[in-house]
Amino acid sequence: MEKKTIRDIDTKELRGKKILVRCDFNVPLKDGEITDDTRIRAALPTIRYLLESGAKVVLCSHLGRPKGEVNEKYSMKPVAERLSEELDAKVKCAEDVTGPSAKDMANELKEGEAGLLENVRFDPREEKNEESLAIELADLIGNEGIYVNDAFGTAHRAHASTEGVAHHVDESVAGLLMEREIEKLGAVLEKPEEPFVAILGGAKVSDKIGVIENLMQKVQTIEIGGAMANTFLKAKGYDIGSSKYEEDKIEVAKQIMKDALNKGVEIILPKDARVAKIAEGEELTPETVESAEHKNVKLNVEGKGESLEGWQILDVGDTTLTYFADRLENAKTVVWNGPVGLFEFDQFAIGTNAIAKVLSEIDATTIIGGGDSAAAVKKAGLQDKMTHISTGGGASLEFLEGKKLPGIECLLDK
């Protein structure tokens, strides 16, 4: 999937051109303050590249879920302020998306200047991908304008600013962040160096079925942890006590294990676990989790060994980790999606942290997808030791499922 990028355009051609850049500035806010500006910083290379080329840069993004209505709580103004600081130059924020203020702002931009449109989701036509909005967005940059999609995080959505607009602009290309995501995630699907190991965890099997099925065609080993593993263990007749699992996914789990057997793909399930004395259905809050008694147990088939009734599996155990690490140490490609435990609590982040550490030390291409997995790696301080941490949660999942993402498909091929 070779998509044209801004680097494929002669920089001389960028000078003086109006360029609409769809970014992912969907940052967390608390009382109007940005609490994590990772996404803003991730967009800077593309913005700087265009500004240094003398382009007139019209930035746009969504922020939160204003549901098609103007809501000051989700205004892009704090983002424009942060951008101004980062770029050391004033980035104006328009009062509307494609109205008079946006038009004036776009028209008044000088070479090497950037301005930001108001939250595209203030317009009800954005998420419906209505053509009229796509045309208005394209009109902001005029006939000569170029559309750049750098918002990998929303590339799985066909919205007016992520997909529709590309049909009304002659030249639609990928930004540098988008380019890197396509290259890194694409490489593991197209030409992974073997042995290829997938580590899958997280809350639900249902979220990850597509990823398992697609990766099954490519990997030699799948290591399963997290609450997701409970459904697999249950399907194999293991005692999982009062742990969370998905009754309606037992058959899916059985089928996956059967397919793996037929393909010669090894599936490694937890052999032991860290369990906490928390009754079935009881919510996992800081109060219930932190005060609960916990221990490391060997997992057994139902009826054998000590009963886990009244206990919940919240992390993989040490023996499991040695099995996991053993395969990872020889791996040349690793894709990790989903924490293997309730990592938000230190006593159940042991497995997740151990995996992050092994991945940071091995000589392999290591790709992290999924919002919580990325957060776990950052929390462990190992983000710089990975080959690639995807900036897109849902988008990276769909990419790994082998789906075509509309925000990428709409861009020109190289």
Number of H helices, E strands in the chain: 15, 17
SS3 state of residue 108: helix
Cβ contact 406:155 at 8 Å:
yes
* DSSP code string of 17-59: -EEEEE------EETTEES--HHHHHHHHHHHHHHHTT-EEEE
Nearer to Mg ion, 227 or 235 (CB): 227
Query: Which range in 49-57, 84-92, 171-179, 365-373 contacts Mg ion by CB under 5 A?
Result: 365-373
Nearer to ligand ADP, 27 or 313 (CB): 313
Under DSSP, the state recorded for 385 is G
In which region does residue 258 sit, left (phi positive, over 0), alpha (psi from -120 to 50) or beta (all else)? alpha
Nearer to Mg ion, 186 or 394 (CB): 394
The candidate with the shortest Cα–Cα distance to 375, out of 353, 395, 354, 358, is: 353
394 binds Mg ion (CB under 5 A): no
Active site residue 39: yes
Q: Which of 92, 204, 378, 379 is catalytic?
A: 204
Q: How far is the CB of 338 from ligand ADP (least distance, A)?
A: 4
Nearer to Mg ion, 45 or 371 (CB): 371
Q: How far is the CB of 187 from Mg ion (least distance, A)?
A: 23
Distance CA 58, CA 18 (A): 7
Q: How big is the site for Mg ion, counted in residues (CB under 5 A)? A: 2
234 binds, among ligand ADP, Mg ion, none (CB under 5 to 8 A by kind): none
Q: How far is the CB of 368 from Mg ion (least distance, A)?
A: 12
Cβ contact 56:19 at 8 Å:
yes
The residue ranges that bind ligand ADP (CB under 6 A) are: 201-203, 207, 226-227, 244, 313-314, 337-339, 341-344, 370-373, 393
398 binds Mg ion (CB under 5 A): no
Active site residue 164: no
Q: Which of 357, 371, 378, 385 is catalytic?
A: 371
Active site residue 67: no
Under DSSP, the state recorded for 275 is E
Active site residue 371: yes
Q: Quick one: tokens of 224?
A: 């399963």
* Options 127, 181, 223, 372; binder of Mg ion; rule CB under 5 A: 372
Q: Which of 64, 68, 99, 394 is catalytic?
A: 394
Under DSSP, the state recorded for 391 is S
Which positions are catalytic? 39, 204, 371, 394
